[in-house]
Amino acid sequence: MSDPNKKPGQALDRLYASERESGEFRFDASVARVFPDMIRRSVPGYTTIIPMIEVITEQYARPGSHCYDLGCSLGASTLAMRHGIGDRDCSLTGVDNSAAMIERCEHYIALDDHPLPVTLRCEDILDTFIDNASVTTLNFTLQFVAPERRAELMTRIADATLPGGVLILSEKIRFESDAEQAIQTQLHHEFKRANGYSDLEISQKRSALEQVLIPETLTEHRQRLMKAGFNQVLVWYQCFNFVSMLAIKSP
């Protein structure tokens, strides 16, 4: 069956369409190839969040500062930040530890006609040097970082963020109430079904992600961000079990 939402020229995600041996999900070349289709059909709200990252960056990027997109994949959020920065004198760095993603990301950045240079780094975001930051984005990346390493990363970002600067943090979350967890998970699966994924694809992908994507509650995120040194945390977007937060450092 062809996907009605498929955009011309975009490779269709059929990675879990046939029975496959269990194995952890990895951001390898086969995932990078179908990534735009995969993320759009799997993450409710993704197509709204990307243009809003541009709006938020436009609001908070400060001349003379650095902006970072951590876990940039193919650069959708990086490009949104680039356009949000506009003609301000800021640097923009995208980081991803998947070589396959960075390789394709370079291509997408080159196709975009905005003049702001983008530095791409293929490295673990836990090793990325961050300083003098006005806008940092983690658009569905922290969820893949080992839970015991998340606090140190948040503290490093908060320490590096200038007064009045922000962290845009988008995550799949889990709910404190089991009943809500069940309803929101069901709705997410319905979203995937509506986007053309079969039950087999949904269940195989779910198993593959189980050990790699560890969601936390909103309370856990808020508490960690505040402890790290941000002064305000607000949810600016939610669709089912996917949210985007804005963590703000007081001016």
211 burial via Cβ count (<10 Å: 0-12, 13-18, 19+): exposed
Which region among 1-9, 16-24, 95-103, 240-248 touches ligand GEK (by CB under 6 A)?
Answer: 95-103
The binder of ligand GEK chosen from 16, 27, 191, 230 (CB under 6 A): 27
The binder of ligand GEK chosen from 13, 16, 37, 39 (CB under 6 A): 39
Token match 């839970």: residue?
147
55 versus 164: smaller Cβ distance to ligand GEK: 55
| Cα gap 206→187, rounded to integer Å | 14
140 is a contact residue toward ligand GEK (CB under 6 A):
yes
**CB environment 146-176: b (16+ within 10 A), e (fewer):** eeeebeebbebbbebbbeebbbbbbbbbbbe
Least distance from C-beta 179 to ligand GEK, angstroms? 25
Which region among 59-67, 123-131, 183-191, 223-231 touches ligand GEK (by CB under 6 A)?
Answer: 123-131
**Per CB under 6 A, which of residues 156..175 are in contact with ligand GEK?**
none
Q: Which residues contact 188 (CB under 8 A, 6 or more apart)?
A: 44, 240, 241, 242
The binder of ligand GEK chosen from 52, 56, 61, 72 (CB under 6 A): 72
97 is a contact residue toward ligand GEK (CB under 6 A):
yes
Beta strands at 242-248 and 161-172: parallel, antiparallel or unpaired: antiparallel
CA gyration radius, the chain:
18
| Cα gap 171→161, rounded to integer Å | 20
The binder of ligand GEK chosen from 3, 83, 144, 175 (CB under 6 A): 144
- The binding site for S-adenosyl-L-methionine consists of 46, 71-73, 96-97, 124-125, 139, 206
